[in-house]
Structure 1
């Protein structure tokens, strides 16, 4: 598995001044799986904003000393990032902060705009000066422009949504309000809840609400804008039901944490179902079923349950390092696989193994995992993947941006099996994908090539950096 993920957002609005930075810290900790490049927190103390952002994991960026420097406040927003647009630099850390004529704003964004480049061109031609290469800053600029001619920040957000295309789940704070908004397709998850002392919390996943002791209320609807003030929460739905829901199916297969519930559907149960479907589609005589931690474990349980083959813990994950895809160089990625996963020789030695993972992208990580099991004495290895083959790029926040890097675009299933060293290989059949959620209201463009929106005119992930370098050369 070597898919890059997107980001996680978290916001809190309390009824009194308290340690809101600490609340956001624990919320981000629960969302760490969504982004491990950088993180940040912005606290609102009666309109005065305090922030800290840097590259690294939440535990690395925010020490006890760092957190105590934040003032008490009644509002805060935080973000964990893996960048699908814009480079991995400190400038691109979120939340993005804006000081403007109508007040201050801090914005955290999960997703990817398909028209970010066009919007940025128009803004620059009208005099805007950008400090980052992230499309989040583009959203912030558009909201700021709209705010100059509207009576409220929520009206500016609503007007901005008329201009944005693609995937976005947003949490922002102004001097007096917290706002959560989700794109009309609902590509990326967003929910909200309430703590026992009356503070409202909005987050990418329900697991983050649980982490701070907030009771889950519901998911933010696709196209909905929620406005949190000292008087409660207001729902604006002028953008709702304009598009058919298209929640990313890979949220259920890989991105989200197992204990989260997205749009009323349990991630754990979806992955269990994937394993059951694999057992039905690709039965295998074997001695044990094991999963690749973490997202392969639930599917492995489902496979074992349906097949009757015993489930075992065959791979142990070192939870103190980041996911393999964080490494920018392939050699470093392979080194991290060795550190990250260790086989349990007693469980594997001499056994016919069914190995469950969530996907194969380039095949390099899968090949390394298979070698670990072979070295531990596995007699046979039959790999089952709880997703269909990746055949198309994603433009909505998953870092699959080139068909040339997708092994399934160039090789048959049997060829891939030989390349990664397994005795047999089976992917989740595309026609059974809807059984993971019980409906067809999801985006599976990376498997099918059917995109809900227009795709970007410039398909390079580094399109902002590329254009900046060309401008410098011209000067």
Structure 2
């Protein structure tokens, strides 16, 4: 899926994984990131090399999936990937998603990645400081992650105290917390003061995952699930191609909604922010997205048709001495729309 979304960013790439039902002392979160040339290729080379090294050094792992899951990175159930198009901060490995927030309590571990621009990042940063926190940097992703993490911590501690009052042991309480976590409530509190366009995805250490979309639907997000997988991506064609699904089987996540993938397989879709007037980002749909999406194709073609009358005025209707072309390649479909409109209008002239 990362390779299929290569068009969305070449400044860096990363992915993280979470293993379910690991024993204490076993690593259950792993991450690979790169900001070098060909970052997608590099992160999978790093991961595959680690896997091959482990298999080569320990023959007992071959054919034993349970042991492989215990010993080898990224043999896991949950994955979160990201390609970076830098708009804030430095283009270095440290700026590449996903970001990790680690804790000795499994349900307070958080991995976050997203497609977003917060217009009030300074305000959100100051909110964290006012809580007594000391953020390690002012990057928008760290601010968003720590914002979610703060309310996640609050929810975990509240459930833990309630369970202890009910006589549940400390060890058993830790196992039950994940089942009782109200993630939509956590996200509702966390996103209350967010101002901007965003699709934020995250994974929690115990095995739940989530995606939340802004109230105006500025950033795109699509969702598909069947009996075997649940997947969310920024573009519909990626899901169609990788999972061999039909256009109509993939749903757009509604603005202001979150999708929660519970560890037990249950899927929750819930509105947490009142939807505003939809304002899909034209840069996302006209420039970033793959033209193989049926909706994107028609939108781009219509764009070309709409701009042609203005082009005619700009060239003083001198079609005979004008050469038409397009830049970049993603403008090809708009060019077709422009040509079609030209054919219609020139018949009138």
- The one of 52, 61, 70 equivalent to 2:42 is 61
- 1:262-273 matched pairs, under 5 angstroms: 266-273=295-302
The 2-side partners of 1:180 and 1:253 are apart by 23
Deviates more, 1:126-135 or 1:289-298: 126-135
- Tell whether the 8 Å contact from 1:191 to 1:220 is kept in structure 2 after alignment: yes
Q: Deviations over 1:71-116 (max 9, x none)?
A: 3211110111122221112111111111234431111111111111
Q: Deviations over 1:372-419 (max 9, x none)?
A: xxxxxxxxxxxxxxxxxxxxxxxxxxxxxxxxxxxxxxxxxxxxxxxx
The 3 A distance-change label for structure 1 pair 96 and 63 is closer
Shift of 1:125: 4.5
Shift of 1:133: 4.1
The 2-side partners of 1:199 and 1:103 are apart by 25
Shift of 1:226: 0.6
Question: 3-state SS of the aligned residue for 1:148?
Answer: helix
- The one of 320, 333, 339 equivalent to 1:298 is 333
- The one of 63, 79, 83 equivalent to 2:82 is 79
The 3 A distance-change label for structure 1 pair 191 and 68 is farther
- Tell whether the 8 Å contact from 2:16 to 2:31 is kept in structure 1 after alignment: yes
The 3 A distance-change label for structure 1 pair 280 and 61 is same
Shift of 1:138: 0.7
Question: 3-state SS of the aligned residue for 1:42?
Answer: strand
Equivalent position of 1:237 in the other structure: 271
1:165 correspondence with 2:195? yes
The 3 A distance-change label for structure 1 pair 65 and 144 is closer
Q: Deviations over 1:312-362 (max 9, x none)?
A: xxxxxxxxxxxxxxxxxxxxxxxxxxxxxxxxxxxxxxxxxxxxxxxxxxx
Question: 3-state SS of the aligned residue for 1:239?
Answer: coil
Indicate the structure with greater strand content. 1
Equivalent position of 2:186 in the other structure: 156
Question: 3-state SS of the aligned residue for 1:39?
Answer: strand
- Tell whether the 8 Å contact from 2:108 to 2:153 is kept in structure 1 after alignment: no
The 2-side partners of 1:127 and 1:113 are apart by 22
5+ residue gaps, structure 2 = 23-27, 51-72, 156-180, 313-317, 345-349
Question: 3-state SS of the aligned residue for 1:245?
Answer: coil
The 2-side partners of 1:119 and 1:55 are apart by 27
The 3 A distance-change label for structure 1 pair 142 and 258 is same
Shift of 1:161: 1.2
The 3 A distance-change label for structure 1 pair 97 and 214 is farther
1:199 correspondence with 2:229? yes
Equivalent position of 2:219 in the other structure: 188
1:39 correspondence with 2:9? no
Q: CA RMSD in A?
A: 2.2
5+ residue gaps, structure 1 = 1-26, 310-475
The 1-side partners of 2:117 and 2:285 are apart by 18
Deviates more, 1:162-171 or 1:53-62: 53-62
Equivalent position of 1:29 in the other structure: 3
The 2-side partners of 1:293 and 1:282 are apart by 18
1:253 correspondence with 2:286? yes
TM (normalized to structure 1)? 0.55
Shift of 1:43: 0.7
Indicate the structure with greater helix content. 2
